[in-house]
C-alpha cells in the first residue's frame, strides 16, 4: 500500500501502465490497489481517461527512517503506523505490555482519534500529525501538575518556528490561530499518579487538512497549510515538535510548571477576558486572571479570586467581552 502511495503522493497524473511497471504488477492489479486505498483509507483518487490516476491532493507521508533516527538520538523508541484506532490507545497498550519508554507513536490516520471527555479528534489519512509520547514515571518524581500546559507551550513554540507566528493557547489545552483550533493536547494516565504510573502525551496538529475536506468538525478550525498556502512536510514538523517537547519536558521535570507559568500566561489568548467556565450543565462567569503554579485556571468571580482545574472544564468567551 505504501509503495503505490509513494508513487502517487505528488498529486500528479500517473498512467496505469507506469504504475504497473513501477510496482511490477498488471494494470488490473494497480486498479485493485487504488480501489483498496479509496475504500480503506478514505483517499480520493481521480481517474481521467488517457492520463491515468492522481490523488485529489498531494500528500506528505511520514518518513519512518528519519523519525526513527531522530528518536533514537533522543533516547526514544518510535513506531509509525499507517492506521490505528488512536495513537494514545496504542501507547497505553504497549506500555501495559511492558514496552520500554519513552515511546513515541505516530500514525498516518486514526480511526477513533480521541479528545477529552469522549469527544473525537478528526484524523484523516496523511493530512495531519497524530503524535503520542508515552512516559513511565516512578514515585511522583515528575510533577504531573501543569504538565498538559507545559506540553501546550512546547506545541506553540514548534508551530511558531514552523511559521505560525500568531498561534496562542486557550486554557487548558487548545492551540488557536485567529480564533480557530489548529491543535489540541490530550494527556491520559494509567497506574497510580502518586506512585508508578504511565502518562501518554497525545498531540493532534492540523497540518495539511484544508477546508472543504470531507471532515465534520463542529467548531472553527484551521491548519498550517491553510495559513501558508503550501503543503507542509509532516516529517519535518514531527521532528521539530519532538525537539521542543524534549526541551519543555526537561524544564518541567527540573523546575515544575511553576517555572513556565509566566511564559504560558504570555501566550494565553484569553488573559483578562470575560469568560464562562462550563462544567457540565454548570456555568460560572468571570474574568481570566491567569493560571496558578499547578496550572489551574485563576478567575475573578464576582470580585473574588477562584481557582478551577479538571479535565471536564471548558472555557467560552462571553459574547459581550
List, by residue number, the catalytic residues. 116, 181, 316
Residue 2 Cα distances to 51, 61, 64, angstroms: 22, 9, 11
Shortest Å distance, C-beta 31 to ligand BT5 = 31
Residues that bind ligand BT5 (CB under 6 A): 86-88, 110, 113-116, 119, 121-122, 130-132, 173-174, 181, 184-186, 202-204, 206, 217-219, 221
Shortest Å distance, C-beta 19 to ligand BT5 = 31
Residue 51 Cα distances to 4, 195, 298, angstroms: 17, 62, 60
How far apart CA 138 and CA 175 sit, in angstroms, is: 30
Q: Which residues contact 40 (CB under 8 A, 6 or more apart)?
A: 1, 83
The count of C-alpha atoms lying within 13 angstroms of the C-alpha of 206, restricted to the half-sphere facing its C-beta, is 28
SS3 26: coil
Shortest Å distance, C-beta 29 to ligand BT5 = 34
Which CB atom, from 125 or from 221, has the smaller least distance to ligand BT5? 221
Which CB atom, from 221 or from 257, has the smaller least distance to ligand BT5? 221
Which CB atom, from 186 or from 277, has the smaller least distance to ligand BT5? 186
Shortest Å distance, C-beta 215 to ligand BT5 = 7
SS3 40: helix
Residue number of the CB closest to ligand BT5 reads 184
How far apart CA 77 and CA 69 sit, in angstroms, is: 10
Amino acid at each position: 500500500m505504501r509503495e503505490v502511495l509513494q508513487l502517487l503522493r505528488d498529486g500528479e497524473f500517473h498512467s496505469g501502465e507506469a504504475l504497473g511497471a513501477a510496482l511490477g504488477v498488471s494494470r488490473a492489479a494497480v486498479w485493485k490497489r487504488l480501489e483498496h486505498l479509496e475504500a480503506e483509507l478514505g483517499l480520493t483518487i481521480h481517474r481521467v481517461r488517457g492520463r491515468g490516476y492522481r490523488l485529489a491532493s498531494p500528500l506528505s507521508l511520514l518518513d519512518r527512517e528519519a523519525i526513527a533516527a531522530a528518536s533514537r538520538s533522543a533516547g526514544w523508541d518510535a513506531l509509525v503506523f499507517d492506521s490505528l484506532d488512536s495513537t494514545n490507545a496504542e501507547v497505553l497498550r504497549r506500555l501495559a505490555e511492558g514496552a520500554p519508554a519513552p515511546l513515541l507513536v505516530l500514525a498516518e490516520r486514526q480511526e477513533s482519534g480521541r479528545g477529552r471527555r469522549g469527544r473525537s479528534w478528526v484524523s484523516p489519512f496523511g493530512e495531519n500529525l497524530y503524535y503520542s509520547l508515552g512516559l513511565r514515571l516512578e514515585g511522583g518524581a515528575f510533577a504531573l501538575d501543569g504538565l498538559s500546559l507545559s506540553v501546550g507551550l512546547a506545541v506553540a513554540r514548534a508551530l511558531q518556528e514552523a511559521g505560525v507566528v500568531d498561534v496562542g493557547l486557550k486554557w487548558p489545552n487548545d492551540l488557536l490561530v485567529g480564533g480557530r483550533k489548529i491543535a489540541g493536547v490530550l494527556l491520559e494516565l494509567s497506574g497510580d499518579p502518586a506512585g508508578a504510573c504511565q502518562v501518554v502525551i497525545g498531540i493532534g496538529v492540523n497540518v495539511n487538512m484544508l477546508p472543504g475536506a470531507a471532515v465534520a468538525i463542529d467548531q472553527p478550525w484551521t491548519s498550517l497549510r491553510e495559513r501558508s498556502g503550501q503543503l507542509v512536510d509532516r516529517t519535518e514538523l514531527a521532528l521539530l515538535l519532538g525537539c521542543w517537547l524534549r526541551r519543555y519536558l526537561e524544564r518541567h521535570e527540573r523546575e515544575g510548571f511553576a517555572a513556565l507559568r509566566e511564559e504560558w500566561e504570555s501566550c494565553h489568548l484569553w488573559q483578562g477576558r470575560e469568560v464562562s467556565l462550563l462544567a457540565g450543565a454548570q456555568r460560572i462567569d468571570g474574568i481570566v486572571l491567569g493560571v496558578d503554579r499547578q496550572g489551574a485556571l485563576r478567575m475573578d468571580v464576582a470580585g473574588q479570586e477562584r481557582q478551577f482545574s479538571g479535565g471536564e472544564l471548558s472555557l467560552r468567551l462571553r459574547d459581550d467581552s
